[in-house]
Amino acid sequence: MKYILSIAFIFITALSVHAQLQKGLKQIGSSISLSSRNYTNENEIDNYHYDNDNFTFELSPRFAFFLKDNLSLGLEVGYTREVSKGHRVTDIYDIESKIITNSFDFSVFSRFHKSITDKFYVFLQPFASASFGKAHSDEYTDNQQVRSLDIGMSPGLLYMINKNFGLESTFGFIGYNHYSTKAVDNPRTATETSRNNIVLDLSNYTLELGLYYYF
């Protein structure tokens, strides 16, 4: 559905104004992402079944400044809420769980735009972002401190409706991710986990749509 929306906005009827991404231009606006996915793992030999439903909402206000034609540098501050519901079944137990994570994201990015027509652009967005938040699970009494760091790049599409408004979509992530959690409510039982990954993700789970004002 998200891919259909991202392609559809390209064909929106727009005013016939020639849009230029010139040096000195400023961009302000926000992107939004609503995504869901399901994961199932089943082993008939061990009579094990696990089902997980994950829903994520992201809101990311952004400001950028064009250092020269088609090249911008910007800052982004975002909020993410993720709800993960799991169900594990074996011969011994039948457990349902729910984890809610709220986090704030801070990002610095650059964009290299390439015009396809006077209204349609593709761009490559290198960025570095850090996320800080807390996760609460129905299974455990301790809240988890959640932190992540991403360094990489994403491709995107920009369609200028007129000289002041643009619709855009970013999708995919190629780069490095560090993710860590730590129990914070009880220092005596505090446990910490972390993982480092090289990521190549072009799924619709990474898709964001945004409306921006250029001035």
Query: pLDDT tens-digit profile of 148-192?
Result: 999 999 999 999 999 899 999 988 889 999 988 887 766 555 577
Asked if residues 64 and 71 have their Cβ atoms less than 8 Å apart, the reply is no
Q: What are the tens digits of pLDDT across the range 118-146?
A: 899 999 999 999 999 998 887 666 688 89
Is 207 exposed, middle or buried, given 0-12, 13-18 or 19+ CB atoms closer than 10 A? buried
Q: What are the tens digits of pLDDT across the range 39-96?
A: 777 766 566 777 788 888 999 999 999 999 999 999 999 999 999 887 777 767 667 7
The H-or-E segment that residue 7 falls in is helix 2-8
> What pLDDT shows up at residue 199?
85
> What pLDDT shows up at residue 10?
42
Question: Which of 65, 114, 63, 104 is CA-nearest to residue 81?
Answer: 104
Asked if residues 30 and 173 have their Cβ atoms less than 8 Å apart, the reply is no
Structure tokens at 51: 């089902």
> What pLDDT shows up at residue 186?
62
> What pLDDT shows up at residue 127?
96
> What pLDDT shows up at residue 3?
46
Q: How far is CA 125 from CA 16, 41, 111, in A?
A: 27, 35, 5
- The C-alpha angle with vertex 56 and arms to 184 and 211, in degrees rounded to 5, equals 125
The H-or-E segment that residue 8 falls in is helix 2-8
Contacts of 93 (CB under 8 A, 6+ apart): none
Where residue 141 falls (left for φ over 0; alpha for ψ -120 to 50; beta otherwise) is alpha
CA distance 213 to 63: 10
Domain range list for the chain:
2-28+60-82+99-214
Direct distance between the N- and C-terminal alpha carbons of the chain, in angstroms, rounded to an integer: 31
CA distance 148 to 131: 5
Q: The pTM is what? A: 0.74
> What pLDDT shows up at residue 207?
80
Residue with tokens 């749509």: 209
CATH 3.30.1490 is right for the domain spanning 2-28+60-82+99-214: no
